[in-house]
Amino acid sequence: MTSNITRRRVITIYVAVALLAVFICLGLMVRVPYVALGPGPTVNTLGTAQSEETGKQVRVVKVVGGVDPNPKGNLNLTTVSLYDGLTLFEALGKWMSSSYELQPRESYFPPDRSDDEVRQENQAQMSGSEDNAVLAAWNYLKLPTAVGVTSVSDKSPAKGVLKDDDRILSVGGEPVATMERMSAVLGKHKPGDVVDVVFLRDGKQQTSAVTLASRPDDKSRPFLGVTMRSVPADPSKAIEFDVGSIGGPSAGLMMTLSIIDQMTPGDLSHGEFIAGTGTIDPSGEVGEIGGIDHKIRAAKDAGATMFLVPAANCSLATADAPDGIELVKVDMLSGALDALGTVGTDKPRPHC
């Protein structure tokens, strides 16, 4: 009798150990359909960062020909870290931490798109944000812009006519100071039309005739065959960005402020550690972003004393904000600059 009881106990222990081993294996190996979001790196748009291409330190935002090319202080863009491929145990660990939140993976990696496509889209959003930052800064400073050529497609109408770094001034006799204007002007033409393209190259204005082709994806629409971005019309001025692998549109406001800081005397930060976030459009409107709570926490941990918050994010920003960081509400670029102008004074600032 005693022998049978002992045998059952041993079997029970073996089964329990086996089940525990299976649970541990599942916890270590099974991937869950969730991602974890948490505070990400903050990057000083006035400073330098290590280039992913060369490994050397390069300026994050560099204005060639700026009035004040080396402003001091911090105007930090902020990011959200996204952890993918979580095991069950990793997800549980993140869920139990107060610094992270779990979200369905399909919200960030839709099932109808590959991971590479999602990353390319994020990089395209960053590129568009850089263009908007240039336009917003130049519009605020009341400086003219142009459409800059970044590459020319092989076997395109522009091949042999336009080159990288050319600045397109007009097409078919109509000025094209912005990307939107360029699209509108091209939209007035049809494939086969011959248009005069006026452009700057090495500071000299040139004119060449180009026969527009058909777009590969829509034969009824004209095709010039160049990749473009917004640039200063003055060829002695240029803006260079190197934000590494950061994607998305939310760094727009801080990159715009960095450009303006380098194009004006003095330091916008006035000795304070300023961080922030927000999309930007050419008119200077600051837009809502995601992950505001994580970005504020990352900024506070990095030493920021003031955070520029898009007005639409204020409710969430104040819900769980850490102590010791001032949340300044911003809806326009001009408002952000007005708020920065009060740093170091007793003048009031709009708060969330």
The Cα-based distances of 8 to 14, 17, 30 in angstroms read: 10, 14, 32
CA pair distance 205, 83, nearest whole angstrom: 50
- Of the candidates 165, 180, 168, which has an alpha carbon nearest to the alpha carbon of residue 210? 168
Residue 272: CB atoms within 10 A of its CB come to 17
pLDDT exceeds cutoff 50 at 154: yes
pLDDT tens for each residue of 161-189: 999 889 999 999 999 988 888 889 998 99
24 vs 245 pLDDT, higher one: 245
Separation of alpha carbons 109 and 117, rounded Å: 9
CA 177 from chain centre, in angstroms, equals 23
Beta carbons within 10 angstroms of residue 199's beta carbon:
24
Q: Which residue has the higher pLDDT, 252 or 51?
A: 252
Q: Is the per-residue pLDDT at 14 higher than 80?
A: no
What is this structure's pTM?
Answer: 0.82
Average pLDDT, the chain: 85
The model's confidence at residue 286, banded by pLDDT at 50, 70 and 90, is: very high
What band does 214 get if pLDDT is binned at 50, 70 and 90? confident
Tell me the per-residue pLDDT of 25-42, one tens digit each, with 9 for 90 and over. Answer: 544 455 668 778 889 999
Handedness of CA 275, 276, 280, 284 (dihedral sign): negative
Burial 287-306 (b: 16+ CB within 10 A, else e): bbbbbbbbbbbbbbebebeb
Nearest to 310 by CA among 324, 297, 325, 295: 295
Q: What is the pLDDT of residue 27?
A: 40
